[in-house]
Structure 1
Protein backbone atom coordinates (compact mmCIF):
# COMPACT_ATOMS: atom_id res chain seq x y z
CA UNK A 1 0.00 0.00 0.00
CA UNK A 2 1.20 3.53 -0.79
CA UNK A 3 -0.39 6.99 -0.92
CA UNK A 4 -1.44 6.52 -4.55
CA UNK A 5 -3.33 3.38 -3.59
CA UNK A 6 -5.19 5.38 -0.93
CA UNK A 7 -5.90 8.18 -3.38
CA UNK A 8 -7.28 5.71 -5.92
CA UNK A 9 -9.49 4.06 -3.31
CA UNK A 10 -10.80 7.43 -2.05
CA UNK A 11 -11.56 8.67 -5.58
CA UNK A 12 -13.47 5.47 -6.40
CA UNK A 13 -15.45 5.89 -3.18
CA UNK A 14 -16.25 9.54 -3.92
CA UNK A 15 -17.34 8.85 -7.52
CA UNK A 16 -19.01 5.47 -6.90
CA UNK A 17 -17.36 4.06 -10.00
CA UNK A 18 -14.03 2.44 -10.87
CA UNK A 19 -14.36 3.69 -14.45
CA UNK A 20 -14.95 7.31 -13.40
CA UNK A 21 -12.11 7.09 -10.89
CA UNK A 22 -9.78 5.82 -13.63
CA UNK A 23 -10.71 8.72 -15.92
CA UNK A 24 -10.30 11.22 -13.09
CA UNK A 25 -6.85 9.89 -12.15
CA UNK A 26 -5.62 9.24 -15.68
CA UNK A 27 -5.37 5.49 -15.13
CA UNK A 28 -6.68 2.46 -16.98
CA UNK A 29 -9.79 0.94 -15.45
CA UNK A 30 -8.09 -2.46 -14.90
CA UNK A 31 -5.38 -0.65 -12.92
CA UNK A 32 -7.98 0.78 -10.56
CA UNK A 33 -9.58 -2.65 -10.15
CA UNK A 34 -6.16 -4.19 -9.43
CA UNK A 35 -5.34 -1.55 -6.80
CA UNK A 36 -8.68 -2.04 -5.05
CA UNK A 37 -8.12 -5.82 -5.16
CA UNK A 38 -4.67 -5.42 -3.56
CA UNK A 39 -6.11 -3.27 -0.80
CA UNK A 40 -8.92 -5.75 -0.18
CA UNK A 41 -6.36 -8.54 0.09
CA UNK A 42 -4.19 -6.49 2.46
CA UNK A 43 -7.15 -5.53 4.66
CA UNK A 44 -8.80 -8.95 4.48
CA UNK A 45 -12.25 -7.96 3.28
CA UNK A 46 -14.31 -6.32 0.52
CA UNK A 47 -14.17 -2.53 0.28
CA UNK A 48 -17.04 -2.19 -2.20
CA UNK A 49 -20.26 -3.90 -3.16
CA UNK A 50 -20.67 -4.03 -6.95
CA UNK A 51 -24.12 -2.95 -8.16
CA UNK A 52 -24.17 -2.93 -11.94
CA UNK A 53 -21.89 -0.19 -13.23
CA UNK A 54 -21.61 1.47 -9.84
CA UNK A 55 -19.97 0.51 -6.57
CA UNK A 56 -20.98 1.26 -2.97
CA UNK A 57 -18.76 1.16 0.09
CA UNK A 58 -18.96 -1.84 2.36
CA UNK A 59 -18.75 -1.40 6.14
CA UNK A 60 -15.01 -2.02 5.90
CA UNK A 61 -14.80 0.47 3.03
CA UNK A 62 -16.57 3.16 5.06
CA UNK A 63 -14.12 2.71 7.93
CA UNK A 64 -11.17 2.73 5.53
CA UNK A 65 -12.37 5.97 3.91
CA UNK A 66 -12.73 7.67 7.30
CA UNK A 67 -9.11 6.83 8.06
CA UNK A 68 -7.73 7.54 4.59
CA UNK A 69 -9.20 11.01 4.08
CA UNK A 70 -7.24 12.77 6.89
CA UNK A 71 -4.01 11.18 5.63
CA UNK A 72 -4.68 12.36 2.08
CA UNK A 73 -5.50 15.89 3.27
CA UNK A 74 -2.25 15.98 5.24
CA UNK A 75 -0.23 14.85 2.22
CA UNK A 76 -1.97 17.42 -0.02
CA UNK A 77 -1.33 20.15 2.55
CA UNK A 78 2.35 19.19 2.73
CA UNK A 79 2.60 19.30 -1.07
CA UNK A 80 0.95 22.71 -1.16
CA UNK A 81 3.30 24.01 1.54
CA UNK A 82 6.40 22.75 -0.25
CA UNK A 83 5.33 24.15 -3.63
CA UNK A 84 4.71 27.54 -2.05
CA UNK A 85 7.69 27.53 0.29
CA UNK A 86 9.99 29.59 -1.89
CA UNK A 87 7.51 32.32 -2.77
CA UNK A 88 5.38 34.83 -0.94
CA UNK A 89 1.72 33.91 -0.48
CA UNK A 90 -0.35 34.96 -3.45
CA UNK A 91 -3.65 34.27 -5.14
CA UNK A 92 -7.32 34.83 -4.43
CA UNK A 93 -8.76 34.12 -0.98
CA UNK A 94 -12.54 34.04 -0.46
CA UNK A 95 -13.78 35.18 2.95
CA UNK A 96 -17.40 34.94 4.10
CA UNK A 97 -18.61 37.10 6.98
CA UNK A 98 -21.80 38.76 8.23
CA UNK A 99 -22.63 42.41 7.54
CA UNK A 100 -22.08 43.35 11.18
CA UNK A 101 -18.40 42.37 11.04
CA UNK A 102 -17.48 43.85 7.66
CA UNK A 103 -16.67 47.37 8.98
CA UNK A 104 -14.58 45.97 11.84
CA UNK A 105 -12.61 43.38 9.87
CA UNK A 106 -12.46 43.98 6.12
CA UNK A 107 -10.85 47.48 5.88
CA UNK A 108 -8.06 46.61 8.32
CA UNK A 109 -7.50 43.22 6.69
CA UNK A 110 -7.32 44.67 3.17
CA UNK A 111 -4.99 47.48 4.28
CA UNK A 112 -2.60 44.94 5.85
CA UNK A 113 -2.57 42.82 2.71
CA UNK A 114 -1.96 45.79 0.43
CA UNK A 115 0.95 46.96 2.60
CA UNK A 116 2.63 43.62 3.22
CA UNK A 117 1.28 40.91 0.89
CA UNK A 118 0.11 42.59 -2.27
CA UNK A 119 -0.02 39.28 -4.13
CA UNK A 120 -3.10 38.21 -2.16
CA UNK A 121 -6.42 39.27 -3.65
CA UNK A 122 -9.31 39.35 -1.20
CA UNK A 123 -12.78 38.21 -2.30
CA UNK A 124 -15.49 39.10 0.23
CA UNK A 125 -18.81 37.24 0.52
CA UNK A 126 -21.47 38.83 2.72
CA UNK A 127 -24.02 36.57 4.39
CA UNK A 128 -25.48 35.33 7.65
CA UNK A 129 -24.16 32.46 9.75
CA UNK A 130 -26.14 29.63 8.16
CA UNK A 131 -25.21 30.77 4.66
CA UNK A 132 -21.52 31.10 5.57
CA UNK A 133 -21.51 27.57 7.04
CA UNK A 134 -23.03 26.34 3.76
CA UNK A 135 -20.40 28.20 1.72
CA UNK A 136 -17.67 26.54 3.80
CA UNK A 137 -19.13 23.07 3.30
CA UNK A 138 -19.41 23.65 -0.46
CA UNK A 139 -15.92 25.11 -0.81
CA UNK A 140 -17.20 28.50 -1.96
CA UNK A 141 -15.19 30.35 0.69
CA UNK A 142 -11.78 29.54 2.15
CA UNK A 143 -12.36 31.34 5.44
CA UNK A 144 -15.67 31.81 7.23
CA UNK A 145 -16.33 34.19 10.11
CA UNK A 146 -19.72 34.03 11.76
CA UNK A 147 -21.61 34.39 15.02
CA UNK A 148 -23.08 31.94 17.49
CA UNK A 149 -25.50 32.86 20.28
CA UNK A 150 -25.88 31.30 23.72
CA UNK A 151 -27.99 32.15 26.73
CA UNK A 152 -26.44 32.38 30.19
CA UNK A 153 -22.99 33.05 31.59
CA UNK A 154 -20.20 33.89 29.17
CA UNK A 155 -17.01 31.85 29.05
CA UNK A 156 -14.62 33.94 26.98
CA UNK A 157 -11.74 31.47 26.98
CA UNK A 158 -10.53 30.86 23.43
CA UNK A 159 -13.11 33.11 21.78
CA UNK A 160 -11.97 35.81 19.39
CA UNK A 161 -14.82 38.27 19.88
CA UNK A 162 -17.55 38.02 22.46
CA UNK A 163 -20.24 40.27 23.83
CA UNK A 164 -23.59 40.43 25.61
CA UNK A 165 -26.47 41.59 23.42
CA UNK A 166 -27.81 45.07 24.14
CA UNK A 167 -31.01 47.03 23.61
CA UNK A 168 -30.16 50.10 21.52
CA UNK A 169 -32.02 53.26 20.66
CA UNK A 170 -31.62 56.98 19.95
CA UNK A 171 -29.36 58.64 22.52
CA UNK A 172 -31.35 61.90 22.62
CA UNK A 173 -34.38 60.18 24.14
CA UNK A 174 -32.61 57.40 26.07
CA UNK A 175 -33.84 56.92 29.63
CA UNK A 176 -33.10 53.22 30.10
CA UNK A 177 -30.64 52.09 32.82
CA UNK A 178 -27.27 50.60 31.90
CA UNK A 179 -28.72 47.11 32.36
CA UNK A 180 -32.23 45.92 31.59
CA UNK A 181 -34.01 42.64 32.37
CA UNK A 182 -35.00 40.61 29.33
CA UNK A 183 -38.69 40.65 30.35
CA UNK A 184 -38.77 44.46 29.96
CA UNK A 185 -38.09 44.15 26.23
CA UNK A 186 -41.85 43.71 25.84
CA UNK A 187 -42.17 47.47 26.52
CA UNK A 188 -40.28 48.52 23.39
CA UNK A 189 -41.21 48.53 19.67
CA UNK A 190 -38.46 46.45 18.14
CA UNK A 191 -36.80 46.20 14.75
CA UNK A 192 -35.29 42.72 14.50
CA UNK A 193 -33.72 40.56 11.78
CA UNK A 194 -35.89 37.99 10.00
CA UNK A 195 -36.74 34.68 11.66
CA UNK A 196 -33.89 32.70 10.08
CA UNK A 197 -31.23 34.99 11.57
CA UNK A 198 -29.25 33.50 14.47
CA UNK A 199 -29.72 36.52 16.74
CA UNK A 200 -33.47 36.53 16.10
CA UNK A 201 -33.78 32.81 16.81
CA UNK A 202 -31.90 33.20 20.10
CA UNK A 203 -34.06 36.14 21.20
CA UNK A 204 -37.29 34.40 20.21
CA UNK A 205 -36.28 31.22 22.05
CA UNK A 206 -35.77 33.11 25.31
CA UNK A 207 -39.01 35.06 24.81
CA UNK A 208 -41.01 31.86 24.28
CA UNK A 209 -39.54 30.21 27.33
CA UNK A 210 -40.20 33.23 29.53
CA UNK A 211 -43.61 33.91 27.91
CA UNK A 212 -42.58 37.44 26.97
CA UNK A 213 -44.64 38.99 24.14
CA UNK A 214 -42.18 41.00 22.06
CA UNK A 215 -43.53 43.83 19.94
CA UNK A 216 -41.74 43.44 16.61
CA UNK A 217 -42.88 46.35 14.44
CA UNK A 218 -40.52 45.62 11.54
CA UNK A 219 -38.06 42.98 10.32
CA UNK A 220 -34.88 43.84 8.43
CA UNK A 221 -31.74 41.82 7.81
CA UNK A 222 -29.92 44.96 6.68
CA UNK A 223 -28.10 46.68 9.54
CA UNK A 224 -28.44 49.99 7.70
CA UNK A 225 -32.23 49.54 7.53
CA UNK A 226 -32.42 48.66 11.22
CA UNK A 227 -30.44 51.76 12.16
CA UNK A 228 -32.48 54.07 9.93
CA UNK A 229 -35.78 52.83 11.38
CA UNK A 230 -34.41 53.20 14.89
CA UNK A 231 -33.27 56.75 14.19
CA UNK A 232 -36.40 57.94 12.41
CA UNK A 233 -39.30 55.78 13.55
CA UNK A 234 -39.03 55.61 17.33
CA UNK A 235 -37.92 51.95 17.27
CA UNK A 236 -35.30 49.98 19.18
CA UNK A 237 -32.78 47.30 18.13
CA UNK A 238 -31.19 44.29 19.80
CA UNK A 239 -27.56 44.21 18.71
CA UNK A 240 -24.02 43.19 19.59
CA UNK A 241 -22.25 46.27 21.02
CA UNK A 242 -19.60 46.62 18.34
CA UNK A 243 -22.25 47.07 15.61
CA UNK A 244 -23.20 50.46 17.08
CA UNK A 245 -19.83 51.42 18.60
CA UNK A 246 -19.20 54.35 16.23
CA UNK A 247 -22.72 55.75 16.71
CA UNK A 248 -22.32 55.51 20.49
CA UNK A 249 -19.08 57.49 20.31
CA UNK A 250 -20.89 60.16 18.30
CA UNK A 251 -23.79 60.13 20.80
CA UNK A 252 -26.26 59.00 18.14
CA UNK A 253 -27.23 55.70 19.80
CA UNK A 254 -27.28 54.60 23.41
CA UNK A 255 -27.65 51.08 24.75
CA UNK A 256 -28.37 48.91 27.79
CA UNK A 257 -27.00 45.42 28.38
CA UNK A 258 -29.74 42.78 28.46
CA UNK A 259 -29.64 40.67 31.64
CA UNK A 260 -31.67 38.00 33.44
CA UNK A 261 -31.03 36.22 31.21
CA UNK A 262 -28.24 37.60 29.10
CA UNK A 263 -27.74 36.40 25.53
CA UNK A 264 -24.13 36.06 24.53
CA UNK A 265 -22.73 36.37 21.07
CA UNK A 266 -19.36 34.96 20.14
CA UNK A 267 -17.57 34.98 16.82
CA UNK A 268 -15.80 31.95 15.35
CA UNK A 269 -13.41 31.69 12.43
CA UNK A 270 -13.51 28.43 10.44
CA UNK A 271 -11.48 27.39 7.42
CA UNK A 272 -12.78 25.22 4.60
CA UNK A 273 -12.01 21.50 4.42
CA UNK A 274 -12.88 20.86 0.76
CA UNK A 275 -9.33 21.47 -0.49
CA UNK A 276 -5.87 22.11 0.97
CA UNK A 277 -5.68 25.56 2.47
CA UNK A 278 -3.21 27.70 0.55
CA UNK A 279 -0.54 29.78 2.27
CA UNK A 280 -2.47 32.86 1.21
CA UNK A 281 -5.65 31.57 2.85
CA UNK A 282 -3.79 30.67 6.04
CA UNK A 283 -2.25 34.14 6.10
CA UNK A 284 -5.67 35.75 5.72
CA UNK A 285 -7.10 33.52 8.45
CA UNK A 286 -4.28 34.40 10.85
CA UNK A 287 -4.59 38.12 10.23
CA UNK A 288 -8.38 38.07 10.55
CA UNK A 289 -8.02 36.17 13.83
CA UNK A 290 -5.67 38.84 15.17
CA UNK A 291 -8.05 41.62 14.14
CA UNK A 292 -11.01 39.92 15.84
CA UNK A 293 -9.06 39.32 19.03
CA UNK A 294 -8.11 42.98 19.02
CA UNK A 295 -11.82 43.79 19.23
CA UNK A 296 -12.48 41.38 22.11
CA UNK A 297 -12.57 43.97 24.87
CA UNK A 298 -16.36 44.20 24.58
CA UNK A 299 -18.59 42.77 27.31
Structure 2
Protein backbone atom coordinates (compact mmCIF):
# COMPACT_ATOMS: atom_id res chain seq x y z
CA UNK A 1 0.00 0.00 0.00
CA UNK A 2 1.16 3.54 -0.78
CA UNK A 3 -0.37 7.01 -1.01
CA UNK A 4 -1.29 6.51 -4.67
CA UNK A 5 -3.28 3.40 -3.76
CA UNK A 6 -5.14 5.42 -1.11
CA UNK A 7 -5.96 8.13 -3.66
CA UNK A 8 -7.37 5.53 -6.05
CA UNK A 9 -9.45 3.98 -3.26
CA UNK A 10 -10.86 7.35 -2.10
CA UNK A 11 -11.73 8.36 -5.68
CA UNK A 12 -13.57 5.08 -6.23
CA UNK A 13 -15.42 5.48 -2.91
CA UNK A 14 -16.35 9.14 -3.50
CA UNK A 15 -17.47 8.56 -7.10
CA UNK A 16 -19.14 5.20 -6.40
CA UNK A 17 -17.64 3.68 -9.52
CA UNK A 18 -14.35 2.07 -10.51
CA UNK A 19 -14.87 3.22 -14.09
CA UNK A 20 -15.43 6.87 -13.10
CA UNK A 21 -12.42 6.76 -10.78
CA UNK A 22 -10.25 5.39 -13.59
CA UNK A 23 -11.41 8.19 -15.90
CA UNK A 24 -10.77 10.89 -13.29
CA UNK A 25 -7.28 9.59 -12.59
CA UNK A 26 -6.32 8.81 -16.17
CA UNK A 27 -5.97 5.08 -15.49
CA UNK A 28 -7.37 1.93 -17.06
CA UNK A 29 -10.37 0.47 -15.24
CA UNK A 30 -8.65 -2.93 -14.70
CA UNK A 31 -5.80 -1.09 -12.92
CA UNK A 32 -8.26 0.43 -10.43
CA UNK A 33 -9.93 -2.96 -9.88
CA UNK A 34 -6.56 -4.64 -9.30
CA UNK A 35 -5.42 -2.06 -6.72
CA UNK A 36 -8.74 -2.26 -4.84
CA UNK A 37 -8.40 -6.05 -4.77
CA UNK A 38 -4.85 -5.75 -3.40
CA UNK A 39 -6.07 -3.43 -0.64
CA UNK A 40 -8.92 -5.82 0.22
CA UNK A 41 -6.44 -8.66 0.49
CA UNK A 42 -4.09 -6.58 2.71
CA UNK A 43 -6.88 -5.31 4.98
CA UNK A 44 -8.66 -8.67 5.21
CA UNK A 45 -12.10 -8.02 3.80
CA UNK A 46 -14.22 -6.46 1.03
CA UNK A 47 -14.14 -2.70 0.72
CA UNK A 48 -17.04 -2.47 -1.75
CA UNK A 49 -20.22 -4.23 -2.66
CA UNK A 50 -20.29 -4.44 -6.47
CA UNK A 51 -23.67 -3.73 -8.03
CA UNK A 52 -24.89 -3.36 -11.55
CA UNK A 53 -24.94 0.42 -11.11
CA UNK A 54 -21.52 0.79 -9.51
CA UNK A 55 -19.93 0.09 -6.14
CA UNK A 56 -21.01 0.97 -2.59
CA UNK A 57 -18.79 0.90 0.45
CA UNK A 58 -18.88 -1.98 2.89
CA UNK A 59 -18.60 -1.39 6.64
CA UNK A 60 -14.83 -1.96 6.36
CA UNK A 61 -14.74 0.38 3.37
CA UNK A 62 -16.48 3.17 5.31
CA UNK A 63 -13.97 2.85 8.13
CA UNK A 64 -11.07 2.79 5.68
CA UNK A 65 -12.35 5.84 3.78
CA UNK A 66 -12.31 8.11 6.85
CA UNK A 67 -8.77 7.09 7.77
CA UNK A 68 -7.51 7.33 4.19
CA UNK A 69 -8.99 10.82 3.73
CA UNK A 70 -7.41 12.01 7.00
CA UNK A 71 -4.02 10.61 5.99
CA UNK A 72 -4.17 12.24 2.56
CA UNK A 73 -5.15 15.59 4.12
CA UNK A 74 -2.20 15.37 6.50
CA UNK A 75 0.14 14.59 3.63
CA UNK A 76 -1.15 17.53 1.59
CA UNK A 77 -0.69 19.86 4.58
CA UNK A 78 2.87 18.62 5.09
CA UNK A 79 3.59 19.21 1.40
CA UNK A 80 2.11 22.72 1.54
CA UNK A 81 4.08 23.57 4.69
CA UNK A 82 7.31 22.44 3.09
CA UNK A 83 6.58 24.33 -0.13
CA UNK A 84 5.82 27.45 1.93
CA UNK A 85 9.06 26.99 3.87
CA UNK A 86 10.98 27.44 0.66
CA UNK A 87 9.24 30.73 -0.06
CA UNK A 88 10.19 34.05 1.48
CA UNK A 89 8.21 35.07 4.58
CA UNK A 90 5.37 37.47 3.84
CA UNK A 91 2.45 39.18 5.55
CA UNK A 92 1.79 42.01 7.99
CA UNK A 93 3.93 42.51 11.09
CA UNK A 94 2.88 45.01 13.76
CA UNK A 95 5.72 46.49 15.79
CA UNK A 96 5.74 49.11 18.54
CA UNK A 97 8.74 51.40 19.01
CA UNK A 98 9.52 54.12 21.56
CA UNK A 99 10.13 57.54 19.96
CA UNK A 100 13.80 57.54 20.98
CA UNK A 101 14.56 54.38 19.00
CA UNK A 102 12.64 55.13 15.81
CA UNK A 103 15.49 57.06 14.10
CA UNK A 104 18.03 54.36 15.00
CA UNK A 105 15.94 51.28 14.21
CA UNK A 106 13.13 51.96 11.75
CA UNK A 107 14.97 53.21 8.62
CA UNK A 108 17.51 50.38 8.80
CA UNK A 109 14.77 47.80 9.37
CA UNK A 110 12.57 49.02 6.53
CA UNK A 111 15.48 49.22 4.08
CA UNK A 112 16.41 45.62 4.90
CA UNK A 113 12.85 44.43 4.33
CA UNK A 114 12.51 46.31 1.04
CA UNK A 115 15.74 44.69 -0.13
CA UNK A 116 15.36 41.15 1.24
CA UNK A 117 11.69 40.58 2.22
CA UNK A 118 9.42 42.60 -0.08
CA UNK A 119 6.43 40.47 0.96
CA UNK A 120 6.57 41.70 4.57
CA UNK A 121 4.63 44.87 5.34
CA UNK A 122 5.28 46.72 8.59
CA UNK A 123 2.63 48.35 10.74
CA UNK A 124 4.51 50.71 13.03
CA UNK A 125 3.09 52.01 16.30
CA UNK A 126 4.91 54.76 18.20
CA UNK A 127 4.48 54.87 21.95
CA UNK A 128 6.14 54.79 25.33
CA UNK A 129 6.81 51.52 27.12
CA UNK A 130 3.53 51.45 29.05
CA UNK A 131 1.53 51.83 25.83
CA UNK A 132 3.63 49.25 23.99
CA UNK A 133 3.14 46.68 26.73
CA UNK A 134 -0.65 47.28 26.65
CA UNK A 135 -0.71 46.89 22.87
CA UNK A 136 1.22 43.62 23.16
CA UNK A 137 -1.16 42.23 25.78
CA UNK A 138 -4.34 43.10 23.81
CA UNK A 139 -3.01 41.65 20.55
CA UNK A 140 -2.50 44.92 18.68
CA UNK A 141 1.23 44.24 18.30
CA UNK A 142 3.26 41.22 17.28
CA UNK A 143 6.51 42.76 18.53
CA UNK A 144 7.48 45.71 20.66
CA UNK A 145 10.54 47.39 22.13
CA UNK A 146 10.09 48.66 25.66
CA UNK A 147 12.52 50.84 27.61
CA UNK A 148 13.39 49.91 31.18
CA UNK A 149 15.38 52.27 33.39
CA UNK A 150 17.59 51.78 36.41
CA UNK A 151 20.72 53.03 38.14
CA UNK A 152 23.97 51.31 38.97
CA UNK A 153 22.95 51.06 42.61
CA UNK A 154 19.38 50.00 41.76
CA UNK A 155 19.48 48.30 38.36
CA UNK A 156 16.38 47.16 36.55
CA UNK A 157 16.03 43.60 37.82
CA UNK A 158 15.00 41.42 34.85
CA UNK A 159 13.34 41.80 31.46
CA UNK A 160 9.57 41.35 31.77
CA UNK A 161 8.01 38.01 30.86
CA UNK A 162 8.32 37.40 27.13
CA UNK A 163 11.10 39.98 26.78
CA UNK A 164 14.79 39.75 25.91
CA UNK A 165 17.35 42.42 26.79
CA UNK A 166 18.84 43.75 23.56
CA UNK A 167 20.55 47.07 24.28
CA UNK A 168 21.88 48.84 27.38
CA UNK A 169 23.21 52.38 27.44
CA UNK A 170 24.11 55.05 29.98
CA UNK A 171 22.02 58.19 29.96
CA UNK A 172 23.52 61.58 29.24
CA UNK A 173 22.54 65.17 29.84
CA UNK A 174 22.26 66.92 26.46
CA UNK A 175 21.92 70.54 25.45
CA UNK A 176 22.74 73.01 22.68
CA UNK A 177 26.38 72.70 21.61
CA UNK A 178 26.89 76.44 21.23
CA UNK A 179 28.38 77.68 24.49
CA UNK A 180 28.59 74.18 26.04
CA UNK A 181 30.94 74.25 29.05
CA UNK A 182 30.04 71.10 30.97
CA UNK A 183 32.69 68.36 31.43
CA UNK A 184 32.39 64.93 29.72
CA UNK A 185 30.92 63.46 32.94
CA UNK A 186 28.84 65.16 35.63
CA UNK A 187 27.48 64.03 38.97
CA UNK A 188 23.72 63.78 39.28
CA UNK A 189 23.53 66.44 42.05
CA UNK A 190 24.92 68.96 39.53
CA UNK A 191 21.53 68.87 37.77
CA UNK A 192 20.15 71.14 40.49
CA UNK A 193 19.45 74.48 38.88
CA UNK A 194 19.78 73.21 35.29
CA UNK A 195 16.54 73.84 33.32
CA UNK A 196 15.30 70.36 32.38
CA UNK A 197 12.70 69.12 29.93
CA UNK A 198 11.47 65.66 30.97
CA UNK A 199 8.60 63.35 29.97
CA UNK A 200 5.54 63.33 32.21
CA UNK A 201 4.85 60.64 34.82
CA UNK A 202 4.32 57.63 34.45
CA UNK A 203 7.20 57.60 31.96
CA UNK A 204 9.88 55.20 33.24
CA UNK A 205 12.76 57.65 32.83
CA UNK A 206 10.92 60.39 34.71
CA UNK A 207 10.02 58.06 37.57
CA UNK A 208 13.57 56.76 38.13
CA UNK A 209 15.00 60.31 37.98
CA UNK A 210 12.40 61.55 40.46
CA UNK A 211 13.13 58.62 42.79
CA UNK A 212 16.86 59.36 42.86
CA UNK A 213 16.27 63.10 43.35
CA UNK A 214 13.93 62.38 46.26
CA UNK A 215 16.42 60.01 47.85
CA UNK A 216 19.14 62.68 47.58
CA UNK A 217 16.77 65.46 48.69
CA UNK A 218 17.60 67.24 45.42
CA UNK A 219 15.16 69.72 43.90
CA UNK A 220 15.17 69.53 40.10
CA UNK A 221 14.27 72.46 37.88
CA UNK A 222 11.79 70.88 35.46
CA UNK A 223 10.58 73.73 33.25
CA UNK A 224 8.42 71.64 30.92
CA UNK A 225 6.97 68.13 30.69
CA UNK A 226 7.25 66.98 27.08
CA UNK A 227 6.71 63.43 25.80
CA UNK A 228 7.44 64.11 22.13
CA UNK A 229 11.09 63.56 21.16
CA UNK A 230 10.82 66.08 18.33
CA UNK A 231 9.38 68.70 20.69
CA UNK A 232 12.23 68.05 23.14
CA UNK A 233 14.72 68.61 20.34
CA UNK A 234 13.17 71.95 19.39
CA UNK A 235 13.14 73.16 22.99
CA UNK A 236 16.79 72.21 23.49
CA UNK A 237 17.92 73.90 20.29
CA UNK A 238 15.81 77.04 20.66
CA UNK A 239 15.17 77.60 24.38
CA UNK A 240 18.47 76.84 26.09
CA UNK A 241 17.14 73.90 28.15
CA UNK A 242 18.45 70.37 28.65
CA UNK A 243 17.19 66.80 28.31
CA UNK A 244 18.22 63.36 29.55
CA UNK A 245 18.66 60.85 26.74
CA UNK A 246 20.40 57.68 25.57
CA UNK A 247 23.59 58.31 23.52
CA UNK A 248 22.11 57.14 20.20
CA UNK A 249 19.07 59.44 20.49
CA UNK A 250 19.76 62.55 18.35
CA UNK A 251 23.08 61.04 17.27
CA UNK A 252 22.86 62.95 13.97
CA UNK A 253 22.47 66.27 15.80
CA UNK A 254 25.54 65.52 17.87
CA UNK A 255 27.59 64.55 14.81
CA UNK A 256 26.51 67.79 13.11
CA UNK A 257 27.59 69.81 16.14
CA UNK A 258 24.10 70.96 17.14
CA UNK A 259 23.99 69.11 20.46
CA UNK A 260 26.56 68.28 23.13
CA UNK A 261 26.29 65.90 26.08
CA UNK A 262 27.79 64.79 29.38
CA UNK A 263 27.43 61.31 30.87
CA UNK A 264 25.58 61.20 34.19
CA UNK A 265 27.30 59.53 37.13
CA UNK A 266 26.91 59.09 40.88
CA UNK A 267 24.64 57.36 40.19
CA UNK A 268 24.87 56.28 36.57
CA UNK A 269 21.49 55.96 34.85
CA UNK A 270 20.95 53.03 32.48
CA UNK A 271 18.37 52.57 29.76
CA UNK A 272 17.67 48.96 28.74
CA UNK A 273 15.88 48.27 25.45
CA UNK A 274 13.85 45.05 25.71
CA UNK A 275 12.40 43.22 22.70
CA UNK A 276 9.01 41.75 23.63
CA UNK A 277 6.45 39.58 21.82
CA UNK A 278 2.68 39.36 22.01
CA UNK A 279 0.47 36.58 23.27
CA UNK A 280 0.18 34.64 20.01
CA UNK A 281 2.91 32.46 18.44
CA UNK A 282 4.99 34.48 15.99
CA UNK A 283 4.54 33.98 12.26
CA UNK A 284 7.55 33.38 10.03
CA UNK A 285 7.39 37.04 8.99
CA UNK A 286 7.31 38.21 12.63
CA UNK A 287 10.25 35.96 13.51
CA UNK A 288 12.17 37.38 10.57
CA UNK A 289 11.50 40.96 11.71
CA UNK A 290 12.39 40.10 15.32
CA UNK A 291 15.74 38.70 14.19
CA UNK A 292 16.53 41.81 12.20
CA UNK A 293 15.55 44.15 15.05
CA UNK A 294 17.75 42.13 17.41
CA UNK A 295 20.74 42.49 15.07
CA UNK A 296 20.16 46.26 14.69
CA UNK A 297 19.96 46.79 18.46
CA UNK A 298 23.09 44.75 19.04
CA UNK A 299 24.97 46.82 16.48
CA UNK A 300 23.83 49.95 18.30
CA UNK A 301 25.13 48.53 21.59
CA UNK A 302 28.62 48.14 20.09
CA UNK A 303 28.86 51.77 18.96
Q: Write out per-residue CA displacement over residues 235-281 of structure 1, whole angstroms, 9 at most, x where no aligned residue.
A: 111111111211111111100000000110010101112x2210000
Aligned position for 1:290: 295
Deviation at 1:130, TM superposition (A): 0.6
Q: Write out per-residue CA displacement over residues 63-118 of structure 1, whole angstroms, 9 at most, x where no aligned residue.
A: xxxxxxxxxxxxxxx9x976842432110000001011111111111111111110
Compute the RMSD of aligned alpha carbons: 2.1
Counterparts of 2:176 and 2:128, CA distance in 1: 26
Aligned position for 2:12: none
Structure 2: 5+ residue runs without aligned partners? 1-77, 157-163
Counterparts of 1:121 and 1:132, CA distance in 2: 19
Q: Partner of 2:249: helix, strand, or coil?
A: helix
Structure 1: 5+ residue runs without aligned partners? 1-77
Matched, 1:281 2:249: no
Change (3 A) 1:87 1:146: same
Residues 49-198 of structure 1 correspond to what in structure 2 (within 5 A)? 84-152=84-152, 159-198=165-204
Deviation at 1:159, TM superposition (A): 4.0
Change (3 A) 1:81 1:277: farther
Matched, 1:230 2:200: no
Counterparts of 1:82 and 1:188, CA distance in 2: 61
Q: Partner of 1:187: helix, strand, or coil?
A: coil
Q: Are the equivalent residues in 1 in contact too, given 2:187–2:264 (CA < 8 A)?
A: yes
Aligned position for 1:9: none
Matched, 1:269 2:275: yes
Aligned position for 1:41: none
Counterparts of 1:83 and 1:286, CA distance in 2: 22
Counterparts of 2:269 and 2:116, CA distance in 1: 38
Q: Partner of 1:113: helix, strand, or coil?
A: helix
Q: Are the equivalent residues in 2 in contact too, given 1:84–1:279 (CA < 8 A)?
A: no
| Alignment: residue pair count | 218
Q: Partner of 1:199: helix, strand, or coil?
A: helix
> Which structure would you say has the larger Rg?
2
